[in-house]
Protein backbone atom coordinates (compact mmCIF):
# COMPACT_ATOMS: atom_id res chain seq x y z
CA UNK A 1 0.00 0.00 0.00
CA UNK A 2 1.18 3.55 -0.73
CA UNK A 3 1.90 5.80 2.22
CA UNK A 4 -0.24 8.98 1.94
CA UNK A 5 2.24 11.07 3.94
CA UNK A 6 4.02 13.50 1.65
CA UNK A 7 1.88 12.73 -1.39
CA UNK A 8 0.13 15.66 -3.05
CA UNK A 9 -3.40 15.59 -4.42
CA UNK A 10 -5.35 18.14 -6.44
CA UNK A 11 -9.15 17.98 -6.13
CA UNK A 12 -11.49 20.10 -8.24
CA UNK A 13 -14.90 21.14 -6.94
CA UNK A 14 -13.59 20.86 -3.39
CA UNK A 15 -15.72 23.56 -1.81
CA UNK A 16 -18.78 21.35 -1.19
CA UNK A 17 -20.33 17.93 -1.57
CA UNK A 18 -18.17 14.95 -2.39
CA UNK A 19 -15.15 17.10 -3.31
CA UNK A 20 -15.11 18.66 0.14
CA UNK A 21 -15.60 15.29 1.84
CA UNK A 22 -12.72 13.74 -0.11
CA UNK A 23 -10.43 16.72 0.53
CA UNK A 24 -11.06 16.48 4.27
CA UNK A 25 -10.61 12.71 4.30
CA UNK A 26 -7.28 12.92 2.49
CA UNK A 27 -6.10 15.75 4.72
CA UNK A 28 -6.86 13.56 7.70
CA UNK A 29 -4.86 10.71 6.14
CA UNK A 30 -1.76 12.89 5.71
CA UNK A 31 -1.88 14.02 2.09
CA UNK A 32 -0.93 17.49 0.95
CA UNK A 33 -4.22 18.76 -0.48
CA UNK A 34 -4.57 21.42 -3.15
CA UNK A 35 -8.27 22.25 -3.30
CA UNK A 36 -9.58 23.87 -6.47
CA UNK A 37 -12.71 25.92 -5.88
CA UNK A 38 -14.90 28.29 -7.85
CA UNK A 39 -15.36 30.44 -4.75
CA UNK A 40 -12.29 29.85 -2.58
CA UNK A 41 -13.17 32.57 -0.06
CA UNK A 42 -16.38 30.70 0.79
CA UNK A 43 -15.00 27.19 0.65
CA UNK A 44 -11.75 27.57 2.58
CA UNK A 45 -13.48 27.50 5.96
CA UNK A 46 -15.06 24.13 5.10
CA UNK A 47 -11.72 22.32 5.36
CA UNK A 48 -9.81 21.72 8.57
CA UNK A 49 -6.17 20.78 8.33
CA UNK A 50 -2.59 21.94 8.95
CA UNK A 51 -1.81 25.03 6.90
CA UNK A 52 1.43 23.51 5.65
CA UNK A 53 -0.53 20.69 3.99
CA UNK A 54 -3.52 22.60 2.64
CA UNK A 55 -3.65 24.99 -0.31
CA UNK A 56 -6.81 26.66 -1.59
CA UNK A 57 -6.80 27.89 -5.17
CA UNK A 58 -9.42 29.37 -7.49
CA UNK A 59 -10.42 27.01 -10.27
CA UNK A 60 -13.09 27.50 -12.91
CA UNK A 61 -13.75 24.42 -15.03
CA UNK A 62 -14.85 26.50 -18.01
CA UNK A 63 -11.57 28.44 -18.05
CA UNK A 64 -8.49 26.56 -19.25
CA UNK A 65 -5.89 29.04 -17.97
CA UNK A 66 -7.29 28.80 -14.42
CA UNK A 67 -6.44 25.10 -14.43
CA UNK A 68 -2.91 25.79 -15.63
CA UNK A 69 -2.45 28.40 -12.90
CA UNK A 70 -3.78 26.02 -10.25
CA UNK A 71 -1.42 23.23 -11.34
CA UNK A 72 1.58 25.56 -11.40
CA UNK A 73 0.76 26.90 -7.94
CA UNK A 74 0.38 23.37 -6.57
CA UNK A 75 3.72 22.15 -7.91
CA UNK A 76 5.45 25.31 -6.69
CA UNK A 77 3.94 24.89 -3.22
CA UNK A 78 4.45 21.16 -2.69
CA UNK A 79 7.25 20.28 -5.12
CA UNK A 80 5.30 17.89 -7.32
CA UNK A 81 2.00 16.12 -7.90
CA UNK A 82 0.94 12.56 -7.13
CA UNK A 83 -2.85 12.52 -7.54
CA UNK A 84 -5.36 14.43 -9.67
CA UNK A 85 -9.06 14.12 -8.84
CA UNK A 86 -11.41 15.55 -11.47
CA UNK A 87 -14.55 16.01 -9.41
CA UNK A 88 -16.10 19.29 -10.64
CA UNK A 89 -19.20 18.70 -12.74
CA UNK A 90 -22.71 19.84 -13.58
CA UNK A 91 -25.96 17.98 -14.13
CA UNK A 92 -28.87 18.44 -16.52
CA UNK A 93 -31.94 16.23 -16.15
CA UNK A 94 -33.98 17.38 -19.17
CA UNK A 95 -35.32 14.59 -21.41
CA UNK A 96 -33.84 14.27 -24.88
CA UNK A 97 -36.52 16.27 -26.69
CA UNK A 98 -36.10 19.18 -24.25
CA UNK A 99 -32.31 19.19 -24.15
CA UNK A 100 -30.88 22.25 -25.93
CA UNK A 101 -27.59 22.23 -27.81
CA UNK A 102 -26.45 25.10 -25.61
CA UNK A 103 -26.97 23.05 -22.47
CA UNK A 104 -25.26 20.05 -24.04
CA UNK A 105 -22.31 22.33 -24.81
CA UNK A 106 -22.21 23.34 -21.14
CA UNK A 107 -22.14 19.71 -20.05
CA UNK A 108 -19.39 18.91 -22.51
CA UNK A 109 -17.28 21.89 -21.46
CA UNK A 110 -17.43 21.24 -17.71
CA UNK A 111 -17.76 17.46 -17.49
CA UNK A 112 -15.45 16.41 -20.34
CA UNK A 113 -13.16 19.16 -21.63
CA UNK A 114 -12.14 20.38 -18.17
CA UNK A 115 -10.84 16.99 -16.97
CA UNK A 116 -9.30 16.41 -20.40
CA UNK A 117 -7.31 19.64 -20.05
CA UNK A 118 -6.27 18.93 -16.48
CA UNK A 119 -5.08 15.41 -17.29
CA UNK A 120 -3.00 16.62 -20.23
CA UNK A 121 -1.38 19.33 -18.12
CA UNK A 122 -0.78 17.09 -15.11
CA UNK A 123 0.57 13.99 -16.89
CA UNK A 124 4.26 15.04 -16.89
CA UNK A 125 4.17 15.53 -13.11
CA UNK A 126 2.23 12.31 -12.52
CA UNK A 127 4.69 10.37 -14.67
CA UNK A 128 7.59 11.85 -12.71
CA UNK A 129 6.00 10.67 -9.45
CA UNK A 130 6.29 7.02 -10.52
CA UNK A 131 2.98 6.16 -8.86
CA UNK A 132 0.75 8.94 -10.13
CA UNK A 133 -3.00 8.58 -9.86
CA UNK A 134 -5.98 10.11 -11.67
CA UNK A 135 -9.54 9.74 -10.43
CA UNK A 136 -12.36 10.90 -12.72
CA UNK A 137 -15.79 11.30 -11.18
CA UNK A 138 -18.17 9.78 -13.67
CA UNK A 139 -21.54 8.28 -12.73
CA UNK A 140 -23.60 5.17 -13.15
CA UNK A 141 -25.05 7.32 -15.94
CA UNK A 142 -21.65 6.94 -17.58
CA UNK A 143 -22.31 3.21 -17.94
CA UNK A 144 -26.04 3.03 -18.67
CA UNK A 145 -28.92 5.31 -19.68
CA UNK A 146 -31.84 4.86 -17.33
CA UNK A 147 -35.08 5.45 -19.23
CA UNK A 148 -35.62 9.08 -20.23
CA UNK A 149 -33.62 10.45 -17.29
CA UNK A 150 -30.79 12.94 -17.99
CA UNK A 151 -29.57 11.78 -21.42
CA UNK A 152 -27.32 14.84 -21.84
CA UNK A 153 -25.64 14.15 -18.54
CA UNK A 154 -25.19 10.52 -19.55
CA UNK A 155 -23.61 11.53 -22.86
CA UNK A 156 -21.02 13.60 -21.02
CA UNK A 157 -20.32 10.91 -18.43
CA UNK A 158 -19.94 8.18 -21.06
CA UNK A 159 -17.26 10.43 -22.53
CA UNK A 160 -15.55 10.64 -19.13
CA UNK A 161 -15.42 6.85 -19.10
CA UNK A 162 -13.65 6.90 -22.48
CA UNK A 163 -11.31 9.68 -21.31
CA UNK A 164 -10.35 7.52 -18.36
CA UNK A 165 -9.38 4.64 -20.63
CA UNK A 166 -7.33 6.96 -22.86
CA UNK A 167 -5.49 8.42 -19.86
CA UNK A 168 -4.86 4.93 -18.48
CA UNK A 169 -3.22 3.90 -21.73
CA UNK A 170 -1.16 7.10 -21.90
CA UNK A 171 0.34 6.85 -18.42
CA UNK A 172 0.55 3.15 -17.71
CA UNK A 173 4.22 2.55 -18.53
CA UNK A 174 5.23 5.38 -16.18
CA UNK A 175 3.23 4.12 -13.21
CA UNK A 176 0.18 6.34 -13.69
CA UNK A 177 -3.03 4.51 -12.76
CA UNK A 178 -6.40 5.98 -13.71
CA UNK A 179 -9.79 5.16 -12.21
CA UNK A 180 -13.30 6.23 -13.17
CA UNK A 181 -15.72 6.34 -10.25
CA UNK A 182 -19.37 5.63 -11.06
CA UNK A 183 -21.66 6.44 -8.13
CA UNK A 184 -25.42 6.52 -8.01
CA UNK A 185 -27.15 9.32 -6.13
CA UNK A 186 -24.80 11.08 -3.69
CA UNK A 187 -26.31 13.16 -0.92
CA UNK A 188 -25.13 16.57 -2.17
CA UNK A 189 -26.62 19.87 -3.31
CA UNK A 190 -26.48 18.67 -6.92
CA UNK A 191 -29.35 16.22 -6.38
CA UNK A 192 -31.21 18.08 -3.63
CA UNK A 193 -34.22 18.63 -5.89
CA UNK A 194 -34.48 14.98 -6.94
CA UNK A 195 -37.34 12.94 -5.54
CA UNK A 196 -35.14 10.55 -3.58
CA UNK A 197 -34.67 10.38 0.22
CA UNK A 198 -31.34 11.87 1.26
CA UNK A 199 -30.83 9.20 3.91
CA UNK A 200 -31.03 6.49 1.23
CA UNK A 201 -28.37 8.08 -0.96
CA UNK A 202 -24.63 7.43 -0.90
CA UNK A 203 -23.13 9.66 1.76
CA UNK A 204 -20.14 11.75 0.59
CA UNK A 205 -17.95 10.59 3.47
CA UNK A 206 -18.54 6.93 2.60
CA UNK A 207 -17.60 7.46 -1.03
CA UNK A 208 -14.52 9.40 0.09
CA UNK A 209 -13.37 6.42 2.13
CA UNK A 210 -13.75 4.10 -0.86
CA UNK A 211 -11.78 6.43 -3.17
CA UNK A 212 -9.07 6.90 -0.54
CA UNK A 213 -8.62 3.12 -0.43
CA UNK A 214 -8.14 3.02 -4.19
CA UNK A 215 -5.50 5.76 -3.97
CA UNK A 216 -3.46 3.73 -1.48
CA UNK A 217 -3.23 0.68 -3.75
CA UNK A 218 0.15 -0.04 -5.39
CA UNK A 219 0.78 0.04 -9.13
CA UNK A 220 0.19 -3.73 -9.25
CA UNK A 221 -3.44 -3.40 -8.07
CA UNK A 222 -5.18 -1.24 -10.66
CA UNK A 223 -8.87 -0.42 -10.15
CA UNK A 224 -9.93 0.88 -13.52
CA UNK A 225 -13.65 1.27 -12.89
CA UNK A 226 -15.38 1.62 -9.54
CA UNK A 227 -19.17 1.41 -9.25
CA UNK A 228 -20.94 2.46 -6.06
CA UNK A 229 -24.72 2.18 -5.88
CA UNK A 230 -27.36 3.04 -3.29
CA UNK A 231 -30.09 0.93 -4.87
CA UNK A 232 -30.29 -2.29 -6.84
CA UNK A 233 -28.51 -1.87 -10.19
CA UNK A 234 -28.77 -5.12 -12.18
CA UNK A 235 -25.51 -5.79 -13.97
CA UNK A 236 -23.29 -3.76 -11.65
* 196 burial level (CB within 10 Å; 0-12, 13-18, 19+): middle
Task: Please tell me whether residue 154 adopts helix, strand or coil conformation.
Answer: helix
- The single residue of 31, 59, 153, 196 carrying the catalytic annotation is 153
Let me know: does 179 contact 224? Beta carbons within 8 Å: yes
Q: Helices 17-29 and 204-216: crossing angle, nearest 10°?
A: 50
H or E, element range at 157: helix 151-171
First to last CA, the chain: 26
Task: Please tell me whether residue 113 adopts helix, strand or coil conformation.
Answer: helix
Alpha helices in 11-150 (DSSP H): 17-29, 40-43, 64-78, 101-107, 114-129
For β-strands 8-12 and 83-86, DSSP reports them as parallel
Q: Is 153 a catalytic residue?
A: yes
Spatial distance between the Cα atoms of 182 and 143, rounded to a whole number of angstroms:
8
Which sequence positions are flagged as catalytic? 153
Amino acid sequence: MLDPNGRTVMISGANRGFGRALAQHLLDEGYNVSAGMRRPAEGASALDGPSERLAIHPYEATDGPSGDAWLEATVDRFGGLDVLVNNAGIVESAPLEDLSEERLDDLWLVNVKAPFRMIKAALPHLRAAGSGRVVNLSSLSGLRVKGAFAPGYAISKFAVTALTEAAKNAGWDDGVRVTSVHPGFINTDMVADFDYPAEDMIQPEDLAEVVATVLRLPNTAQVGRLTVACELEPGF
